[in-house]
Structure 1
Amino acid sequence: MFSKLFFGAIAGAIMLAAGPAQAIDITHDLGTTAVPDAPQRIVVLEYSFVDTLAALGVSPVGIADDDKRDSIIAAYTAIIGDDWTSVGTRKSPSLEVIASLQPDLIIADTGRHAAIYDALSEIAPTIAFDSLTGTYQVAMEAAQTIANAIGKGPEMTARLAEHSATMQAFKAEIGDVSDWSAQFIIDNGEGIFLHSPVSYNGSLLAWFGFKNNMPTPDGHTYEEAIVATSLEQLSEINPQIIIRGKYADPGLTESWVGQPVYDAIAAVKSGNVFDVTAHNWSRLRGVLASEASAADLVDIVKQLKR
């Protein structure tokens, strides 16, 4: 890890190059940070923050893209371009690469990056939001705060108004689904993971009116939001609709076909198991991502076997 002296030297060089800048105080999950007016060199450490910048037409200089440039989907690159530097994985981004980009703002995840928050703050002003375990509502609130931090508050307010109208239109098209229980699951070929009512996708489905048969956790940790489970537990939850994201083909759930416990699950029995793009549903969150998920839900509801 670089020394404080090294980070301080970088920060000083940036200030000298850019000249004095007005700062605004931004309150976020890990405190209050003075952010320079209209930062130009932004590093983001979660996909949802890429989404927020894309919604504003702002290009970051660095992205924690899990060392896979194609993890930044075409809907984002069509807006932000592809001239960013990978800073490594979301779980363990490279402080050295981040520092080399001379950012004037870093946007981090509350849970993933709490342990390195001080080190990130030595490189540049850093603000943090709960992307990993946050709900749909939390993602929308974070988008507005991030926009305020980069001098784009009014633009995001207008975009969120447009977003609300878009989502309400999708909701009207989907109709009354209050009698249906829906469960989003991830199948990685070796295990399955259920997104609970306090997860991003669980809360998004609830916003559209779907029921969730999982118990609502008291707390809000990753293990409560994204729950590893078994066939027997899935059977007990017994959803009427399964929305499945597969990271392996065939998935583990497909090996269960023919087993009485699996075949008796309401969604399986009625043929209401629907596949969506795992990466987009499981990892991407935000304004653009939720609109894409809503469009998928419209298609799913049209195919429901009632």
Structure 2
Amino acid sequence: MKRLLFSGLLGACVLLGFTGCGPQENGMTHEAIYASLDDKMKAALERSNDPKEIDKEFKKRLAATKKAVDKMITVEGDTITVTHKLGKTVMPKNPQRIVVVRAEDPMIALDIPFIAGNYNEKSYLYKELSERNIQNISINDETKTINYEQIQSLHPDLIIMRDSYGKAAFNALSKIAPTVAFNVNKEETALLGIATALGMPEKGEARLKEYYANAKKTRIALANHMNGETMAFLRILNKEYRLYPYMKSDMNIFMSELLNIKPPDMVLETDLNPTNNAISLERLPDLDAGYLVVSAGYGATSANNQNIADQKLDNLEKDALWKTLPAVKEGHVLRVDSTLWMAHGIIAKEKAMQDLYNAWGK
């Protein structure tokens, strides 16, 4: 029997004879979980994969993104001002020597030239950045320390930074050159914001439409292949297992918002308590998902020992409890690259969507 996520009236899955509607061990009943969800999540769970409905959905998404960017950016004559989390920046006209601090993905996606950024051989953008001869800026990720002297020596006329580096970094960089900050965790807003700030909003809109076309193709293919089954995203770390929520994590929210992938009840439980995604090994048998995406380890810039997480997943795959999972029994487990899936930017998300398409969309 298919383990489908009920997306209508409470109790419908019981009436239809689907499994997974009763109490979960150490968890909430299906009815209690659904009753606790907010209206936004309930509406999300009921979306259609009809191509025309997807087009309407993405049109509204683009309009909302443009509205968010309009709140950030004002254009008066030929003067463009960006109001962001860390301050206000008057954009220089026609910058030629742009330095990027952890916003490389949208710059590559927009095909905008820049002279320096930060990356290493584990980065999913390593090939693109090295082929463009982008100079590598030194950043200490443990202390979030940027090599300001190195950036200064490059004589930039604009610096585009990730806003998570904070006010002190923004102030220090602003002494070198005009600096503008974006929240790259919000991939679509960051991309369109950067394009608009540089005076090319049409280029940003065109790239977002391409992004949505990729998402639509993947979404329809997965819907046709998965046939209503649910999917979960599990991450293995050195000291814990994490089950990521349906709509409360910016790392995998593209799976719900763009691809309309339905979650099992246990995932929805994490949405009700998103501050704690850790689960015990003993509770793994409750993970009643038809498909499972598994990541072991950390991002490209993490100092954590990746080998420990990899070995932990290798050991988990031999465990008897693991072999009881529906997704494991059906051979529906996709092991993905954590350095890619933890990254932010539309290129990262397109590559993650391609992983899903290659596994279950063809």
Same fold (TM over 0.5): yes
Aligned residues with identical type, % of pairs: 26
Q: Tell me which residue corresponds to 2:193.
A: 145
Q: Is the 2:221–2:361 contact (alpha carbons within 8 Å) kept by the matching residues of 1?
A: no
Q: Tell me which residue corresponds to 1:57.
A: 111
Give 1:298's aligned amino acid.
Y
Q: 1:287 aligns with which of 338, 343, 346?
A: 346
Q: 1:92 aligns with which of 137, 140, 145?
A: 145
Q: Tell me which residue corresponds to 2:162.
A: 109
Q: Tell me which residue corresponds to 2:359.
A: 300
Q: Tell me which residue corresponds to 1:253.
A: 313
Q: How many Å apart are 1:25 and its aligned residue?
A: 0.1
3-state SS of paired residue (2:195):
helix
Q: How many Å apart are 1:168 and its aligned residue?
A: 1.3
- TM alignment of 1:44-83, pairs within 5 A: 44-46=100-102, 49-65=103-119, 68-69=120-121, 71=123, 73-74=125-126, 76-77=128-129, 81-83=132-134
Mapped to 1, the partners of 2:86 and 2:286 lie a distance apart of 38
Q: How many Å apart are 1:195 and its aligned residue?
A: 3.8
**What does the per-residue CA deviation read over 1:137-169, in whole Å, with 9 as the maximum and x for residues that have no partner?**
x21111000111223322121222222222212
Flag structure 2 segments of 5+ consecutive residues without an equivalent. Answer: 1-77, 298-305
Mapped to 2, the partners of 1:123 and 1:210 lie a distance apart of 45
Mapped to 2, the partners of 1:291 and 1:302 lie a distance apart of 14
Distance change in 2, residues 1:175/1:37 (3 Å) = same
Q: How many Å apart are 1:180 and its aligned residue?
A: 3.1
Q: Is the 1:187–1:251 contact (alpha carbons within 8 Å) kept by the matching residues of 2?
A: no
Instruction: Give the root-mean-square deviation of aligned CA atoms.
Output: 3.0
Q: Is the 1:243–1:273 contact (alpha carbons within 8 Å) kept by the matching residues of 2?
A: yes
Mapped to 2, the partners of 1:209 and 1:178 lie a distance apart of 12
How many positions carry a matched residue from both structures?
267
Distance change in 2, residues 1:76/1:127 (3 Å) = same
Q: Does 1:40 align with 2:100?
A: no
Q: Tell me which residue corresponds to 1:209.
A: 260
Mapped to 2, the partners of 1:50 and 1:202 lie a distance apart of 20
Q: Is the 1:187–1:244 contact (alpha carbons within 8 Å) kept by the matching residues of 2?
A: yes
Mapped to 2, the partners of 1:101 and 1:95 lie a distance apart of 10
Distance change in 2, residues 1:36/1:194 (3 Å) = farther
Give 2:333's aligned amino acid.
V
Q: How many Å apart are 1:57 and its aligned residue?
A: 1.6
Q: Is the 1:183–1:202 contact (alpha carbons within 8 Å) kept by the matching residues of 2?
A: no
Q: Tell me which residue corresponds to 1:199.
A: 249
Q: Does 1:181 align with 2:241?
A: no
Q: Is the 1:64–1:89 contact (alpha carbons within 8 Å) kept by the matching residues of 2?
A: no
Q: How many Å apart are 1:88 and its aligned residue?
A: 2.0
**What does the per-residue CA deviation read over 1:109-151, in whole Å, with 9 as the maximum and x for residues that have no partner?**
23333442222222222222223xx3xxx21111000111223
State the structure with more CA Rg.
2
Q: Tell me which residue corresponds to 2:291.
A: 241
Q: Is the 1:257–1:263 contact (alpha carbons within 8 Å) kept by the matching residues of 2?
A: yes
Q: How many Å apart are 1:97 and its aligned residue?
A: 1.8
Flag structure 1 segments of 5+ consecutive residues without an equivalent. Answer: 1-21
Mapped to 2, the partners of 1:69 and 1:89 lie a distance apart of 16
Give 1:276's aligned amino acid.
V
Distance change in 2, residues 1:253/1:26 (3 Å) = same
Mapped to 2, the partners of 1:235 and 1:125 lie a distance apart of 53
Mapped to 2, the partners of 1:185 and 1:82 lie a distance apart of 36
Distance change in 2, residues 1:89/1:38 (3 Å) = farther
**What does the per-residue CA deviation read over 1:85-113, in whole Å, with 9 as the maximum and x for residues that have no partner?**
32324533222222222222222223333
Q: Tell me which residue corresponds to 2:217.
A: 169
Q: Tell me which residue corresponds to 2:25.
A: none
Give 2:118's aligned amino acid.
A
3-state SS of paired residue (2:146):
coil
